[in-house]
């Protein structure tokens, strides 16, 4: 039998209003008791008595048994969520940065206080990837989880490759449509997908990784030279987070632009849509596709979590509790395309092998294999305005025999 949920909602922006639209369109056994907002002077469509700027009015209300946290501030979200869990209230959150940075503590709080934290809306909008990793793949051996996790950067890249827009023009369109912030670095710099990747890795492999340990290089330095190179080779460039098992006990993670081939599922994922590929030992390759941004798609994921709480659903973190001793490694060689200006960068990165090289007055690039550890160590140099790097899809684990992999074989 489902429980009657009394909800305290934090945040009434795009996702909060999208959630309310969906709730009002259905007959559900739940009620929004109070909504916490920042600006009490802003005009609202609901009765003003429903709103408050005092967090305690929600967190200390015994009538409220469920907290839905939908604010942008990760630090404030952390304070709200931890207080709620400690008081025995169940929580639904969409704050990927807060969850990724504090997941170990949040799991411990749930176990200690008998509360539940769900966060499907924090990863890939409307795609139910967390629930699938948690339930469908709970006893599956996963080779890799990767995809397009950020709708803003994908929108920009779609406009560039499909409509021929310049990067700055495409970014402005994304900002005007609300897909990208005024300062878009969290999206185009690969931070947003990095947080999402950390969460997905926890459910896929039972490995809780500090996001600071995951390499993230974005698309902010993409130039006309890189676009022309990709088009000539019949590639598209997509920003792809990847978690891949490279041995029985080791997982590698990174967020990098990727030269995507036509036979890759992700090649035709466009605009604000997301796509997730799961490569499994027994289920083989499976693909999830859906909108990764917007009030209604993300609101639908949030409502799915709220509905699950009516039946006391909790994440079990089975792979984490199995103590399989899976560790995080950077011990792989990645084949990359690197556009650069300073020859010293090639020496500093210490390429293991270079298979292609081009040099002209306006444009220099190499294609070759380089250690992921070297990319991590020299990340700041790779953020220089004259540098763009993209993963080709070929990866080699250093401690095993080196096996050549074609693009088609390496698509994940």
Which residue numbers are catalytic?
196
Using CA atoms, how far apart are residues 300 and 331, in angstroms rounded to an integer? 39
Using CA atoms, how far apart are residues 38 and 31, in angstroms rounded to an integer? 21
Tally of CB atoms within 10 A around 311: 9
CA angle 81, 76, 151 (to 5 degrees): 90
**Placement of tokens 């036509």 in the chain:** 262
CB 6 within 8 Å of CB 66: yes
CB 255 within 8 Å of CB 376: no
146: part of which helix (H) or strand (E)?
strand 142-148
**Placement of tokens 């990067």 in the chain:** 167
Q: Report the DSSP beta bridge partners of residue 117.
A: 91
Q: Say which residues have a Cβ less than 8 Å from residue 31's Cβ, sequence separation at least 6.
A: 4, 5, 6, 7
CB 367 within 8 Å of CB 383: no
Q: Where are the beta strands (DSSP E) in 344-387?
A: 353-359, 364-371
How far out from the chain centre does Cα 245 lie? Answer: 18
């Amino acid at each position: 039998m489902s429980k009657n949920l009394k909800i305290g909602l934090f945040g009434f922006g795009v996702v909060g209003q999208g959630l309310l639209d969906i709730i009002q369109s259905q007959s559900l056994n739940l009620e929004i008791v109070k909504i916490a907002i920042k600006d009490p002077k802003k005009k609202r469509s609901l009765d003003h008595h429903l709103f408050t700027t005092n967090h305690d009015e929600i967190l200390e209300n015994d009538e409220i048994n469920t907290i839905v946290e939908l604010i942008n501030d990760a630090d404030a979200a952390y304070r709200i969520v931890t207080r709620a869990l400690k008081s025995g209230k169940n929580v639904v959150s969409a704050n990927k940065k807060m969850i990724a940075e504090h997941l170990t503590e949040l799991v411990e709080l749930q176990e200690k206080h008998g509360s539940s934290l769900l966060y499907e809306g924090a990863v890939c909008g409307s795609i139910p990837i967390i629930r699938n990793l948690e339930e469908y793949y709970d006893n599956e051996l996963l080779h890799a989880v990767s995809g397009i996790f950020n709708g803003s950067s994908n929108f920009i890249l779609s406009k560039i490759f499909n409509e021929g827009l310049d990067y700055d023009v495409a970014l402005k369109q994304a900002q005007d449509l609300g897909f990208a912030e005024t300062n878009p670095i969290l999206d185009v710099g690969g931070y947003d997908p990095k947080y999402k990747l950390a969460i997905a890795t926890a459910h896929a492999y039972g490995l809780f990784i500090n996001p600071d340990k995951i390499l993230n290089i974005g698309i902010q330095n993409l130039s006309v030279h890189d676009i022309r190179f990709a088009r000539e080779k019949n590639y598209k460039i997509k920003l792809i987070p990847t978690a891949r098992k490279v041995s029985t006990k080791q997982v590698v993670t990174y967020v990098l632009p990727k030269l995507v081939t036509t036979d890759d599922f992700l090649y035709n994922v466009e605009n604000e849509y997301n796509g997730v590929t799961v490569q499994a030992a027994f289920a083989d390759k499976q693909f999830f596709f859906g909108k990764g941004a917007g009030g209604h798609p993300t609101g639908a994921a949030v409502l799915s979590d709220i509905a699950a709480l009516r039946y006391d659903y909790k994440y079990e973190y089975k792979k984490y509790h199995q103590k399989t001793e899976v560790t995080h490694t950077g011990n792989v060689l990645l084949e990359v395309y690197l556009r650069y200006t300073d020859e010293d960068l090639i020496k500093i990165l210490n390429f293991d092998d270079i298979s292609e090289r081009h040099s002209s007055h306006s444009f220099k690039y190499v294609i070759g294999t380089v250690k992921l550890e070297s990319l991590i160590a020299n990340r700041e140099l790779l953020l220089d305005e004259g540098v763009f790097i993209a993963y080709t899809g070929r990866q080699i684990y250093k401690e095993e025999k080196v096996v050549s992999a074609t693009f088609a074989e390496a698509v994940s």
